[in-house]
Homo-oligomer: A and B are copies of this chain.
């Protein structure tokens, strides 16, 4: 979980469901690298996943969508639950005490944010070129980090990212979700490098091309003149993607 803007914080968490948090692993793809959005708490070096809580009358999935939208400025984000993190050993209120103290709050021991939380993990797939990372009020920053060079994260957030990546890989072919990480138009090479990055292995180019095109879900749009010293690749578009 991540601590919310100060104006929403009070001692007993009025208006929110207690003991339940949402942690969102927001993936982007740029320069052939998978990126995740991370925020740093104000005046500390604690990094965390974007997160939030569920309003009293809000659907769980809507709460996750709200979190992802607020951090990226996007609507219609592809989102999926992937695991619930509920070990008691996750419970460690010390960092949150420090974060609140440093920022001028002096919570009592019974402050709702210092209680144990069950955290529902979501991953989101967004178009890196369209997202505008925006920190929540209590964060200094909200930025993309390469999966391979993330700072240390609070609690078990590093394992949450790891598990999100596994779920993403398992669903990649199955649910055809990779397209959500690319702009509307993309080349087959870009798509292949995305797949290779997520799966962590090289794929054969002819086989990949035929497999993807064989799905019948892409339409060829136009040639793309990149200025490269080679044949111009076609641009493709996911057929059911909005225009």
Contact = CB atoms under 8 A, between A and B. Distances in A.
A230 interface: no
Interface string A45-80: 000000000101111110100000000000000000
A60 B19 contact: no
A58 B20 contact: no
Nearest to A59: B87
Contacts of A86: 54, 59-61, 63, 120
A56 B116 contact: yes
A197 interface: no
Contacts of A188: none
Interface residues of A, number: 23
Copies of chain A in the complex: 2
Contacts of A19: 17-20
Contacts of A116: 17, 56
A85 B20 CA distance: 13
A83 interface: yes
A81 interface: yes
Contacts of A57: 88
Nearest to A63: B86
Nearest to A58: B88
A17 B18 CA distance: 9
Contacts of A63: 86
Nearest to A119: B60
A118 interface: yes
A20 B83 CA distance: 15
Nearest to A19: B17
Interface of A: 17-20, 54, 56-61, 63, 81, 83-89, 116, 118, 120
